[in-house]
Chains A and B, each alone.
Chain A
């Protein structure tokens, strides 16, 4: 069954059809949430809430990209959560001891040496930390563009902003992250350093 048929069946209240859409997009949705939230638990909550909201409001889906539809919902959830945290900052359990969510042995490349895997993990943490320093709107724009590979037009539709705003936010986000990595990567092997 193709995506349009699944969407139509879900609009008729068939949960199984919608769950097939969930299985097809849950990795991308969760990845987006994780890169924005930098927290596995919060990313999981945002992902679950996004799918529930998408199912409840699927009657209002009038065609177009279902992926963009899901990405908009989850990014809005993440944005609301980030704003809530900014108003009421709280200390999470992850702050007491870093949980390496990406330290999954199953993800180790068979051709990658353990030291290379460790370096890559370290590099990922530094990048994620750099992303976390960005303002919420720039962070979401950067993740949309460079993590999800969405075009400027798709980002503008998902965030309900103009193309010029997307262009400006993305340039600022990349420039800040570049400067951050320049400062942080001096501790990494030379092959990861920025000139």
Chain B
């Protein structure tokens, strides 16, 4: 039933469309002829056409609605809104150029940074030197003369001598040995380095002097230094006079601590000079490394760095200043490029924001 009504309504709409277009003379000649033939025989269709024509006539005859007022525009609208010119600030116009500049500078910064990391990490020695140069220039100046003597036994011994703690242990051990041999009373005061206040870093000379004074005060035993013989005997001065007869018996072949201190001051320049002779290469060859006594040189270096510069000869400084002078401009370039990249990034972001506005 509903389908019949729908079909009837659809057919009626189709007829209305033909009748409406017929009233407006919008039908083709063929459609018009077929419709007029249908109208001639279909009275109901003719009635619908008349009703539709009357409806259109009523609408067309509607009187015009009286104007409530005039709609002229006020003179204040004379300034007709023109399209806003695309006047962007200068910063916004520079956005593409700033972006390109930022990319270039940041690329340069990355290249320099990568080069720094690659070059300086290529050789560990160079890296450690450069790091020391950068962080604490005076440390490199101290370390250089200490590493150079490590290439030879004489230099190594000198480095041992300047090591305060190692020396103290050696002195204590030797003193104990002497005490055992000579049966010195246990209450005899032994000036040990442990008694030295830790605030004042003792140098080799001060330790040696303190020890010598202690010896002269109550300890009548002279102690042979570890490795006291050997190549350094040629440069070592004669043994210092002992204060007790027992010391005289035992101290003959070995130098005193004062001698060791003197030896340290004389051996380092000697070692530095020899290191210079090895074609300026401070690194050790495997052969030299094997020939060295098992004295841990690397463990001493950090301790030795606490010694103020100028304690040892400055001859070895010259050959290690080359990395220092090349590293400084490199790092300066890194800083400049980094700051430039940061500034350009900020300027670029600001420019693009202004451009969006």
Q: Mark B32-60, 1 if CB is under 8 A from A, else 0.
A: 00000000000000010011101110111
Cβ of A147 and Cβ of B62 under 8 Å apart?
yes
Minimum Cβ distance to chain B for residue A56 (Å): 6
Residues from chain A with a CB closer than 8 A to the CB of B3 are none
Which segment, of B75-83, B161-169, B181-189, B331-339, faces chain A?
B75-83
Among B20, B63, B69, point to the contact of A107 (Cβ < 8 A): B63
Cβ of A181 and Cβ of B13 under 8 Å apart?
no
Question: Given A13-B78, A51-B71, A52-B77, is A124 in contact with B63 using a C-beta cutoff of 8 Å?
Answer: yes
**Count of chain A residues with a beta carbon within 8 Å of a chain B beta carbon:** 53
Cβ of B59 and Cβ of A102 under 8 Å apart?
no
Considering the chains assembled together, what is the distance between the CA atoms of A102 and B51 in angstroms? 26
Among B13, B58, B66, point to the contact of A175 (Cβ < 8 A): B13
Question: Given A40-B65, A167-B17, is A174 in contact with B55 using a C-beta cutoff of 8 Å?
Answer: yes
Consensus secondary structure, chain B interface: helix
A178 within 8 A of B: yes
A19 within 8 A of B: yes
Cβ of B77 and Cβ of A123 under 8 Å apart?
no
Residues from chain A with a CB closer than 8 A to the CB of B79 are 13
Considering the chains assembled together, what is the distance between the CA atoms of A60 and B6 in angstroms? 46
Minimum Cβ distance to chain A for residue B81 (Å): 6
- Name the CB-closest residue of A to B54: A194
B311 within 8 A of A: no
Considering the chains assembled together, what is the distance between the CA atoms of A26 and B70 in angstroms? 8
B177 within 8 A of A: no
B353 within 8 A of A: no
Cβ of A15 and Cβ of B70 under 8 Å apart?
no
Chain B interface size range: 35 or more
Minimum Cβ distance to chain B for residue A87 (Å): 26
Q: A55-B73, A171-B13 are in contact. List 15 more A-B contacts (CB 8 A).
A: A15-B77, A22-B72, A23-B70, A26-B71, A27-B64, A29-B71, A52-B77, A56-B80, A101-B65, A102-B66, A123-B58, A124-B62, A145-B24, A147-B59, A194-B51
A-B contact pairs, 18 of them (CB 8 A): A13-B78, A13-B79, A13-B80, A14-B78, A22-B72, A27-B67, A40-B68, A56-B81, A101-B66, A127-B58, A149-B60, A152-B24, A172-B17, A174-B52, A174-B56, A175-B16, A177-B55, A195-B51
Residues in A lying within 8 Å of B, measured CB to CB: 13-15, 18-19, 22-23, 26-27, 29-31, 34-35, 40, 43-44, 47-48, 51-52, 55-56, 101-102, 104, 106-107, 120, 123-124, 127-128, 131, 142, 145-147, 149, 152, 167-168, 170-172, 174-175, 177-178, 181-182, 194-195
